[in-house]
Amino acid sequence: MLPAIVLKHKKEESLLRLHPWVFSGAIKALPHGLQEGDLVAVLANDGTPLGTGYYQIGSIAVRMLSFNEAETIDHDFWRTRLKAALALRESLGLQRVDNSAFRLVHGEGDRLPGLVIDCFDGVAVMQAHTVAMHRMRHELAEALADVLGDSLKAVFYKSEGTLPYKANTGAKDGYLYQCPEFDDTNVTATENGLRFRIDYAEGQKTGFFIDQRDNRALLRRYANGKRVLNLFGYTGGFSVYALQGGARLVHTVDSSARAIALAEENVGLNFPDTDRHEGIEADAFRFLQGGRTAEYDIVVLDPPAFAKHRDVLRQALRGYTRLNEAALRHMPAGSLLFTFSCSQAVSREQFRLAVFTAAARTGRHVRILHQLTQPADHPVSIYHPEGEYLKGLVLHVE
């Protein structure tokens, strides 16, 4: 029998609406000896069972795994959830000859809160954001092997940078599984027919930002004959798509020399003889000084998250405003700005207001052509709107 967490009076209402989080202020009593990451039964104040979750130190005290109290959290449970996640991706047509990169598990969107799994040509990169998922990593790897079968080449666990900093978990990044013939010296994946080197061991997040796949394809539609600036370019995803779309020149700017080297490698994988691309190691804000955007027809702003929690939200919104103002002020008439926020703490409305403020300060006439979000393999549970984290706008500047 699992230890039970009892809620205060009427605090079960969000769970009855299938929201998967229990906040610490809603809890009446914690069982003695409860450890972070333990599975728990969640009970209403009158003792009514509400489901099973796991305990986490912090404001979000419980993340629900099941709203069926009779469901056992075991190997069959993980396998069933992973099979459902895979079935969705198969229905989306993401496993194709020309596409081997996709997100298999997107946390609450796949009813596996605290877990992310990205797949790159048979390599599953697993990222735990909670202690419970860290503790379950070996069981999850076994379930992955069952579900993916012969297509699975390796499971790489990468969570040192995502687990709660106070958690004494002893987490180490590394392989949980490798098939005998697997060679990890040069892992590449294909996205919409384009090849990318995946540095999951040393790169940011899981090694490649799959969430911009559809937005990169949109940029490709507009790129023909254009001069494109890709700020915060990282692995050069937007740059490669722009080149495929026929861009006249593409400049990839990132403050990391490693990122620039990887972007240039990805350009070379797809366009080995091109002279249309240049990687520039520079701070994006400094690069924008002096009106540099006047040299480009399309500018892409895809910065890292400015706000990882609400305590810095106001500062983050000022950052988005300052960045977009610096880009918009000198862009040529008729140019396009692709601008994004990947901060979960920033709402769609707040981001749009920050960009509106930037445009208003420049006095330019700006129109919204597209409102962008994350792709379908990053699904958002209708009961958990917080899962919608990526916001984007395509702006026409006159």
**Active-site amino acid positions:** 342
* Residue 330, both tokens: 């000198």
